[in-house]
Amino acid sequence: MQLLKGTPVAHKILEEVAEYARLHTLRLDIILVGTHEPSQIYVNHKLRQAEKVGIHAVLHHLSEHVCTEEVISLIQQLNQDPAVTGMIVQLPLPGHISEEAVLEAISPIKDADGLHPYNLGLLAQGRAQWAPATPWGIVELLLHYGISTEGKHAVIVGRGKLVGTPLALLLSRPANYGNATITLCHTHTKNLYELTRQGDIVVIAVGKPQWFSVEGIRPGAVVIDVGVHRESGKLVGDVQPMVAHVAGALTPVPGGVGPLTVACLLANLTRLHRTQSRLQ
């Protein structure tokens, strides 16, 4: 069984970002609302990694009691600030805040997460210049390890806008990282394991610790575990440990998809900067 470690791939991407940042001034603004512990951990990691590669990172930590309008007001200020190259709003947001309205308020050319409806629309048309970080990180991982998607059956479990839906679009594109046949599964899918056992590549992005069983994997399949959870003091993924005994290749947790998410987010900042420079 081959371990698909994301760290060496992330290092390569970050080296390219650092080289670009030496020549251009880049700034990433992160909006964090509330005290959701996993979000705070993710944000701190993004801030540290940005500074390491020479990107100025600014955190806007808002009270969990702010309203949608206050978050949007801050976003509008950042949209107008020429010093800001790109921004992200750390998800999930508290339940009383409209995630849809907040994401739509971000200028498409400052949308480092690629989650604005305009950018997702370009992705659906195969015209995107940048993509949501985690799906693109998975693409980079497959390319690095020489895992062809051409004509393969990729089964994705999880249809969220952060991972499942954009990844389905990417892997189906007529490109060197695409041309796969996609099955997109979700909470209403019947006979889930019958479908996943057909997959040459199986991506698990359900957000539940050790939820996916070895029964759902056919021997030799490539398994991409997107989940990261803290259980009894250690980090675990969405798949159960026994999957490692059946899969032909598997992303470890930690050290698999996680490092690539941050690296590809920062790489998106260089793409935003290039786009903004062309428009000036």
Write the CATH number for 98.
3.40.50.10860
Catalytic residue among 90, 110, 200, 238: 90
Task: Centre a 10 Å sphere on the Cβ of residue 145 and count the other Cβ atoms it contains.
Answer: 15
pLDDT (tens digit per residue) in 160-173: 999 999 999 999 99
Q: Which range marks the domain in which residue 87 is found? A: 25-107
Do 76 and 29 fall into the same domain? yes
Expressed in percent and rounded to 5, the helix, strand and coil fractions of the chain are 45, 20, 40
Does residue 272 sit within a domain? no
Does residue 12 sit within a domain? no
Res. 232 pLDDT band, cuts 50 70 90: confident
Do 98 and 174 fall into the same domain? no
Does residue 11 sit within a domain? no
pLDDT (tens digit per residue) in 83-129: 999 999 999 999 999 999 999 999 999 999 999 999 999 999 999 99
Does residue 9 sit within a domain? no
What interhelical angle do 37-52 and 7-23 show, nearest 10? 50
Single-letter amino acid, residue 116: H
The domain that holds 146 is classified in CATH as 3.40.50.720
Q: What is the pLDDT of residue 229?
A: 87
Q: What is the pLDDT of residue 191?
A: 96
Q: What is the pLDDT of residue 54?
A: 98
Do 57 and 151 fall into the same domain? no
Residue 113 annotated among the catalytic residues of the structure: yes
Q: What is the mean pLDDT of residues 259-267?
A: 97
Asked whether residue 280 carries a pLDDT value surpassing 80, the answer given is: no
Do 36 and 96 fall into the same domain? yes
Task: Centre a 10 Å sphere on the Cβ of residue 79 and count the other Cβ atoms it contains.
Answer: 15
Burial of 155 (0-12, 13-18, 19+ CB in 10 A): buried
Do 88 and 168 fall into the same domain? no
Asked whether residue 38 carries a pLDDT value surpassing 90, the answer given is: no
Helices (H) and strands (E) in the chain, counts: 9, 11
Res. 36 pLDDT band, cuts 50 70 90: confident
Catalytic residue among 46, 111, 238, 240: 46
Does residue 38 sit within a domain? yes
Give this prediction's pTM: 0.94
Does residue 3 sit within a domain? no
Do 152 and 254 fall into the same domain? yes
Residue 111 annotated among the catalytic residues of the structure: no
Record the tokens describing residue 209, joined without a space. Answer: 């610790």
* Residues in contact with 205: Cβ distance below 8 Å, sequence separation at least 6, in sequence order: 156, 157, 158, 160, 162, 163, 164, 167, 226, 227, 238
Does residue 158 sit within a domain? yes
Catalytic residue among 111, 113, 200, 238: 113
Does residue 137 sit within a domain? yes
Q: What is the pLDDT of residue 11?
A: 97
Asked whether residue 279 carries a pLDDT value surpassing 90, the answer given is: no
Number of domains present in the structure of the chain:
2
Q: Distance between alpha carbon 169 and the CA centroid of its chain, in Å? A: 14
Do 99 and 157 fall into the same domain? no
Do 184 and 253 fall into the same domain? yes
Burial of 182 (0-12, 13-18, 19+ CB in 10 A): buried
Q: What is the pLDDT of residue 10?
A: 98
Strand 201-204 and strand 181-185: the pairing is unpaired
DSSP for 144-170, please give it: HTT---TT-EEEEE---TTTHHHHHHH
Do 43 and 138 fall into the same domain? no
Do 140 and 63 fall into the same domain? no
Res. 233 pLDDT band, cuts 50 70 90: confident
